Amino acid sequence: RKKIAIMTSGGDSPGMNAVVRSCVRMAIHMGCDAYCVYEGYEGLVRGGDFIKQMDWFDVRGWLSEGGTLIGTARCMAFYERAGRLTAAKNMILNGIDALIICGGDGSLTGADRFRAEWPSLLEELVSTGELTAEQIQAYKHLNIVGIVGSIDNDLSGTDATVGCYSALARICLCIDMIEATASSHSRAFVVEVMGRHCGWLALMAAVATGADFLFIPEKPREDNWREEMRSVIQQHRRLGKRKTIVLIAEGALDKFGNKITPEEVRDLLADKNGLALDTRITTLGHVQRGGTAVAYDRMLATLQGVEAVKAVLEATPETKTCFIAITENKIVRKPLMEAVLDTKQVAKAIESQDFDGAMALRDAEFSE
């Protein structure tokens, strides 16, 4: 019987439990044993109780649970070969040679590295006497499949990551609440949302709530953004709007690479010689990550979990490490490292203020 392990790693996102439920049940449905690794790579390195076999009913009700019930962690040990060596040993001791990882680009990079090193890790375990040649006999190849769990929707090559629509829904809900009070007092609110290198959440929230002005990392405003913002908001106020919402992605920069701070924007809106609006700042913070997953994320997580198990069962030593994407509404497998490298290039382009380059990379589908 094939033994497949599932883990969640890196930053949590709504829908991760639905991924675990789907993988566990699909694995069992396909006649395999399903395992969960608790606390991300930390659990793989520690072994023992951190690796548990799951049955069908262990994941009952997980579709509607927020966060990740099997825990997630950042694991320093896994960055080092020694940590990955112990992880490999723990996998073999549990009879596991297939791993489905739900996490962000960091976790998926770690997974690919682990797979690439696997044969040499096994060699070392035998040469140092940790395991015998017989013990590693059936585990010559490590099979890894990724599912992208992230609220930022920041991975190239997929239209949506598990969790992004839940975070977006939460942001819209919060802005609706802020708007009610803004309107009552005729106030302005500067709302900061998550997204370091990716303005997807801020952009989609601005569209979905009809925000007055927006700052995202990928497209800095022109030099005269202060005047532009004042004139746009003045115009909206002239038309009788009693509330003003300015959205800022946490990674938003100006053309010179300086961070756009909520404080500066507030001071501009409140300037007695300008708009003179009573202005408050709201940083949404971790409410964006929490809570239950919206229907879309549950559906995406379930379909991708099913596909991930299929990918594990169909993989050969020659297949590249893949992740499960959604492209034009279809669940598809894509090569993992191309997507990760593309994502890193976008972040680099933004950091070096090559914004056109970043946009071109986002628009282009990486070659497979």
Q: Which one among 35, 41, 50, 213 touches ligand ADP, defined by CB under 6 A?
A: 41
- CA dist., res. 217 & res. 251, Å (int): 5
* 152 in a known ligand binding site: yes
Q: Which of 12, 97, 112, 152 does the annotation list as catalytic? A: 152
When asked if residue 107 is in the footprint of ligand ADP (CB under 6 A), the reply is: yes
Q: Count the site residues for ligand ADP by CB under 6 A.
A: 16
Closer residue to ligand ADP, CB minimum distance, 28 or 337: 337
Burial class (CB in 10 A: 0-12, 13-18, 19+), 34: buried
* 55 in a known ligand binding site: no
* Distances in whole angstroms, Cα of residue 285 to Cα of each of 193, 249, 252, 298: 7, 11, 15, 23
From residue 113 to residue 132, the character string flagging contacts with ligand ADP as x (rule: CB under 6 A) and all else as - is x-------------------
* Distances in whole angstroms, Cα of residue 307 to Cα of each of 30, 207, 277, 353: 12, 32, 52, 38
Site of tokens 């040499």 = 120
When asked if residue 196 is in the footprint of ligand ADP (CB under 6 A), the reply is: no
Taking the CA of residue 84 as centre, how many other CA atoms within 13 Å lie in the half-sphere pointing to its CB? 19
* 266 in a known ligand binding site: no
Longest dimension (CA), the chain: 80
Closer residue to ligand ADP, CB minimum distance, 42 or 179: 42
- Piece in contact with ligand ADP (CB under 6 A), picked from 22-30, 101-109, 245-253, 347-355: 101-109
- Piece in contact with ligand ADP (CB under 6 A), picked from 6-14, 171-179, 276-284, 331-339: 6-14
SS3 content of the chain, % helix, strand, coil (to 5): 50, 20, 35
Residues that bind ligand ADP (CB under 6 A): 9-11, 41, 74-75, 78-79, 103-107, 109-110, 113
The residues carrying an active-site annotation are 152
